[in-house]
Amino acid sequence: MAENPTVKLGVLISGTGSNLQAIIDAILRGDLKAEIRLVISNRADAPGLERARRHGIETGVIEHRQFPSREDFDHAVLAALRARSVELVALAGFMRLLSPVMLDAFPGSIMNIHNSLLPSFPGIHGPKDAIDYGVKIAGCTVFFVTPGVDVGPVIVQAAVPVMPGDDEQSLAARILQQEHRIFPHAISLFQQGRLEIHGRQVIIKGDSSTTQSSSPLVNPAVIDPKS
């Protein structure tokens, strides 16, 4: 059976681009069959742009403040992506909500990553909200973007225990390590043609529970009194 072709990626960023770097590294390792056609930032000073340039990836700056509406901004982004024949859009720390202009142009083909176990703690302070609420398990989520804030169908999640003494920074740092693992993995599943969206469910074709650990993550750990 022939392998699926390399997926053509467009990556949108607003900041440091550490998840962009994770995607680049996965491609270089051969773990991800993808080509980043363009990295776009809505901020000219985003450090992630330099990450892309170091790897010879084309970059573009489209500053949202220069457009009278969200839709006008999205039209400019869409034109740049279409000019590079982008098939999948990855939001890697992109701090803008997308309008129907983008969502209608890439149905089921825009991924985002969030630093909580959605639907818990959407918005920009996932780790802080998790600590403030007192949960014992936090994590991160890759999902398909739909209208709304962090509400799309879930593709992959990783759970991260909240440790005694954690603050927002320490928990966010451990969650970020898992973001760097699951975002390239989700893109790889897309490239392999293994993702199907059925309502709120993302079905991963070829997936079997027998290939995964069924051991629960319990925090704090349950101590067997007989041990």
Question: What pLDDT was estimated at residue 211?
Answer: 56
Question: What pLDDT was estimated at residue 212?
Answer: 64
Amino acid (one-letter) located at 21: Q
Write 64-70 long-range contacts (CB < 8 A, 24+): 64/96, 70/96, 70/97, 70/99
Instruction: Write down the mean pLDDT value for the chain.
Output: 95
Residue 77 CA, distance from chain mean position:
18
Q: 96-140 pLDDT, tens per residue?
A: 999 999 999 999 999 999 999 999 999 999 999 999 999 999 999
Q: 4-50 pLDDT, tens per residue?
A: 999 999 999 999 999 999 999 999 999 999 999 999 999 999 999 99
Question: What pLDDT was estimated at residue 216?
Answer: 82
* CA dist., res. 142 & res. 115, Å (int): 9
Residue 227 predicted with pLDDT over 70: no
Q: In terms of pTM, does the model score above 0.75?
A: yes
Report the interhelical angle of 168-191 vs 18-29 (nearest 10°).
Answer: 40
* Torsion angle (degrees, nearest 10) of CA 35, 40, 41, 44: 110
* Collapsed DSSP state (helix, strand, coil) of residue 150: coil
Cβ atoms within 10 Å, residue 56: 7
Q: Are 47 and 16 in contact (CB under 8 A)?
A: yes
CATH 3.40.50.170 fits 7-206, yes or no: yes
Cβ atoms within 10 Å, residue 62: 18
Q: Are 41 and 59 in contact (CB under 8 A)?
A: yes
Q: 44-89 pLDDT, tens per residue?
A: 999 999 999 999 999 999 999 999 999 999 999 999 999 999 999 9
Question: What pLDDT was estimated at residue 181?
Answer: 97
Cβ atoms within 10 Å, residue 86: 24
* CA dist., res. 157 & res. 160, Å (int): 10
| Catalytic annotation, pick one of 55, 64, 75, 114 | 114
Q: Quick check: is 75 catalytic?
A: no
What average pLDDT does the segment 186-192 reach? 98
* CA dist., res. 227 & res. 72, Å (int): 64
Q: 217: closest CA among 173, 178, 170?
A: 178
Beta bridge pairs of residue 161: 137
Question: What pLDDT was estimated at residue 209?
Answer: 55
